[in-house]
Structure 1
Amino acid sequence: MFAAASTFKDRCAAPRTGVDMEGRPFPDRAGTALEERFWLRSWTHETYLWNTEVQDRNPADFADRRSYFNILRTFALTPSGKEKDDFHFSEPTTEFLARRNAAPSATYGASLLIFSNTPPRDVRIRYTEPNSPASTVVSGQANLVRGARILRVNGIDLVNANSQSDVNALNAALFPSQPGVTTTFEVQNPGGAARSITMTSVNLSPKPVNRTSVINTPTGPVGYVLFNTFSPFVSEREIYDAMLAMSSAGVNDLVLDLRYNGGGLLAVASQLSYMIAGQARTQGRAFERLRFNAAAGNRNPVTGQINNPIPFSSTGQGFTLASGTPLPALNLPRVFVLSTASTCSASEAVINGLRGIGVEVVLIGNTTCGKPFGFYPQDNCGETYYTIQFQGTNDVGFGDYADGFIPNNSSAPFGIRLPGCQVSDDFSRELGDPEERLLSAALGYRATLSCPSPAAGELTPSQTVVERLPGGLPLEAPRPSIFETNRDMTLPQ
């Protein structure tokens, strides 16, 4: 027997008082930790996509809400052998709200990619944020550039250090917890000599649209947009500005760089898709249809509303762009998407949604993460829970891409094939450089419909380091934000 989740909602062992950072009063009432777990049980039964695959366990047998929530999911596998639900997660609501509202955090302004986490370590720069310490130009060059390898940090050998004190110092310096941390790095640019730089951490919010450009070709201008996240709320304004610039430039093709975009607000994904395809292609069509558990019928079990399709949104939604603002449209019949395994969730919804209305999506890069599923973040008593509640399908009803989208010439045995080319990520050039491997392949495919030959000596994060130090101590990089790996149904309040 399952009592209605509303019976236990907001009955908290430690009720909060006052308002949250968005100004909303806390709804908490006095309750117990057991009632919090009973809410999780009923809420999962009512809203979880695979609720019939969850083993019903007595909440009284668990010591805390997180340990109980961790088992309220399916443990089934996809055809490729990965977990069907690899996205079950919770976090303190304060952290969720801070990220959703782009609260600044301490950083040097560089995104790191760790190729090897234990000795011999290999840590490189993935990209830098505009107007950050990392992108500051000193003596004619930026402090950090894409592909630069970090060799030493405050004199500690990052590659080989293996004492706990050294690793602790490396973690504290690489991932500062507060602004004002001054650190000296020895780095080596691709093909260059080692050099020393000093940077001080600052509070900074990552830019969703990291960079844009218009590339002139013999057959017309091609737009390039590096879009790194559909969250936080500011992503609405930034992608609007970027696409307005592309429209003003009269681009006749678009390269959308989603290689590091793990998802975020589905409403912004809908807006972006409209701005690519335009009014004629999207009129009366669904961007995404939500498929809930069988017991939900024709209603959304989270909101209680009729389960209507999500349209292609042609106006501002009110996140950071005034509600009703008309969006620009490129009216393109195709789009080139640059992808890696980090291309996930709302990014894949753009791919799937455009394919559903006949827009050709040319995939350049590697297999996407495979997440056609989404959730409504739900706070209860100070913890925000993410449980898969729906599968997204496009206008023609397709949404079975749990093993990702793959370029057509990929040798991968699983995934949904799209036109395009398998190309490894290129750390020898800056993102947006027409000679950077993925962008170059997109421009080449546009001109000739052919793919480049594999490059020699390509470096990938999954490569095996043969000579490894036994028992090597790993760095402890912060886990990615939930907004980097998910599809968020939040709408403006």
Structure 2
Amino acid sequence: MKKSILILLFASILFACQTDDDIPLTYEEGTNEYVNDWIYTQMKRYYYWNESMPGKGNLSLPPKEYFATLVNKNDRFSYAIHTSSPETFPQSLQNSFGFDLSFIEYEGQVYGVVMYALSNSPAERNGLERGQLINAIGGTALSQGNYNSLYQNLLTAKEVKLQVVSYSEKSGFTAPKQINISQGFTFSQPVFSQVIPYQNHIVGYIEIPHFNAGLSKSLLKEFQTFKNQSVNEIVVDLRYNGGGDVSSAAALSVLLAPNIQSSNPFIRFKGNSNGGEVNQTFKESLEMNESQVSFEALRAAHPQTQRVYVLCGSHTASASEIIINNLKPFMEVITIGEKTVGKDVASFAVEDDRIVGAQAKWVLYPAIYKLFNANGEGNYAAGLQPNVVLNEFQKLEVFPLGNTNEVLLHQALNSISGNGRMMKAITTQTLQKQNLSIISEPMVIKKIWH
């Protein structure tokens, strides 16, 4: 009897000592609490900065707002989307219309310069071209006081109305015309390459808009052409490449780097205490998503080159920065342009699959790994500073990518020929865009996890 009373007394004391935090909570499916509790659990497991995360906090917040409360102050890239809510997706002119702008001032007038119009995009189909100058948006003339707000309005617009002029040093300005562009789809972009005989050199120029999964086949074809035409210098244009698939970046690295073996270390992924560190060789990185083209086939197409010139800028991010940082232990990498974005983190998609068969769901893209090269060099969150700092819009006349008169390519060709003289005639002043956030696609990797 005494023993039974003691057991009951101990159980009642134990129950009384339990707090609300000790009792697992369950939430009704479909509520913010249901979603946010899942978000917190996933971030606590995968997020690189999980140890600095706050407590659960207010689980009743809208999920996208709640996710933002968990993100480290140094993290510019993690985000969450709901697959049936386009308003939760990262927004950019490139995603909506297939182009983007830089802003300059020339003789007191502010212009938007078309940096690119993607192939078969709504922008290109309506006549927009690289180098065109925009002097009015939605009927409002651009000025120092309004260009930033007008640009921000474009990011959420369904249609854009642009007043456009062109300029050349020979003929001056054309008459203005209006171009209207509605939102639409833009599909995968082709790789552009050409062989440029320049003085005593044969230069292979290749412009890569994005590192798509499966890109290795196209890269192999282009480099076989380079090798067949005895190319002895390579210029890789990554100024508008925001990243993508690590395996296709590894494929380009295998084609470029001299004297490497399949077992040479290529990349290090450093995660939190749960994920640990994952080291991959060139072959292992290639085979994550590019198994249809072998390491040996790519090596056979390597031209007789010992260095690479990379054209870069404020849109060069993620897998493109891997090309710059991770080739440095194996070859000379000469960068020309402006500082890169500084995305030294990788992520994989974390999907809420608790409801079987659900098509509409939350998907997280948290920063999971920090990235380093074979020598352990990384930590370039502030961006990679180029060897030759050069503004591609220093002149009002802007040439197409691949044109030998184009500022960055012209500088690379001068450097190759031994004439490193910089262009001196600066006629424009570049204006800073005040972006609401850094728009960068998630780096595509398989789920590497211990």
- TM-score bracket for this pair, using the shorter chain length: 0.7 to 0.9
- Which residue is equivalent to 2:357? none
- Which residue is equivalent to 1:425? 392
- Which residue is equivalent to 1:417? none
Instruction: Give 1:291 deviation, angstroms.
Output: 0.7
- Which residue is equivalent to 2:321? 348
Instruction: Give 1:242 deviation, angstroms.
Output: 3.2
Q: Aligned with 1:273: secondary structure?
A: helix
- Which residue is equivalent to 1:411? none
Q: Which of residues 359, 368, 373 is equivalent to 2:331? A: 359
Mapped partners of 1:209, 1:113: distance in 2: 23
- Which residue is equivalent to 2:64? 66
Q: Which has the higher helix share?
A: 2
- Which residue is equivalent to 1:377? 349
Counterpart residue type for residue 320 of structure 2: S
User: Is 2:199 aligned against 1:223?
Assistant: no
User: Is 2:114 aligned against 1:125?
Assistant: yes
1:92-491 matched pairs, under 5 angstroms: 92-93=82-83, 107=97, 110-114=99-103, 122-131=111-120, 143-152=127-136, 156-159=139-142, 171=154, 176=158, 185-190=163-168, 191-196=172-177, 203-209=184-190, 211-231=192-212, 233=213, 235-277=215-257, 280-297=259-276, 307-312=278-283, 322=292, 324=294, 326-327=297-298, 328-330=301-303, 332-356=305-329, 358-380=330-352, 382-407=361-386, 420-426=387-393, 428-448=398-418, 450-462=420-432, 482-483=440-441, 486-490=442-446
Mapped partners of 1:331, 1:203: distance in 2: 42
Q: Deviations over 1:168-206 (max 9, x none)?
A: 9x959x9656xxx9x785423343322436677685525
TM-score, with structure 2 as normaliser = 0.74
Instruction: Give 1:449 deviation, angstroms.
Output: 6.5
- Which residue is equivalent to 1:4? none
Question: RMSD of the alignment, in Å?
Answer: 4.1
Residues 452 and 289 of structure 1, relative CA distance in 2, 3 Å threshold: same
Instruction: Give 1:207 deviation, angstroms.
Output: 4.4
- Which residue is equivalent to 1:90? 80
Instruction: Give 1:353 deviation, angstroms.
Output: 1.2
Mapped partners of 1:291, 1:353: distance in 2: 15
Aligned length: 399
Residues 205 and 282 of structure 1, relative CA distance in 2, 3 Å threshold: farther
Counterpart residue type for residue 149 of structure 1: L
Counterpart residue type for residue 33 of structure 1: N
Instruction: Give 1:399 deviation, angstroms.
Output: 1.1
Mapped partners of 1:86, 1:331: distance in 2: 39
- Which residue is equivalent to 1:469? none
Q: Aligned with 1:337: secondary structure?
A: strand
**Identity across aligned pairs (percent)?**
23
Mapped partners of 1:384, 1:159: distance in 2: 38
Contact 2:308 2:333 (8 Å CA) reproduced: yes
- Which residue is equivalent to 2:48? 49
Indicate the structure (1 or 2) with the bigger Cα radius of gyration.
2
Contact 2:288 2:446 (8 Å CA) reproduced: no
Residues 227 and 458 of structure 1, relative CA distance in 2, 3 Å threshold: farther
Counterpart residue type for residue 230 of structure 1: F
Instruction: Give 1:240 deviation, angstroms.
Output: 3.9
Contact 1:209 1:225 (8 Å CA) reproduced: no
Instruction: Give 1:289 deviation, angstroms.
Output: 0.9
Consecutive unaligned residues of structure 2, counting only runs of 5 or more, are: 1-23, 354-360
Mapped partners of 1:201, 1:41: distance in 2: 38
Consecutive unaligned residues of structure 1, counting only runs of 5 or more, are: 1-6, 15-31, 76-83, 137-141, 299-306, 408-419, 464-473
Counterpart residue type for residue 112 of structure 2: V
Contact 1:152 1:187 (8 Å CA) reproduced: no
Contact 2:347 2:365 (8 Å CA) reproduced: yes
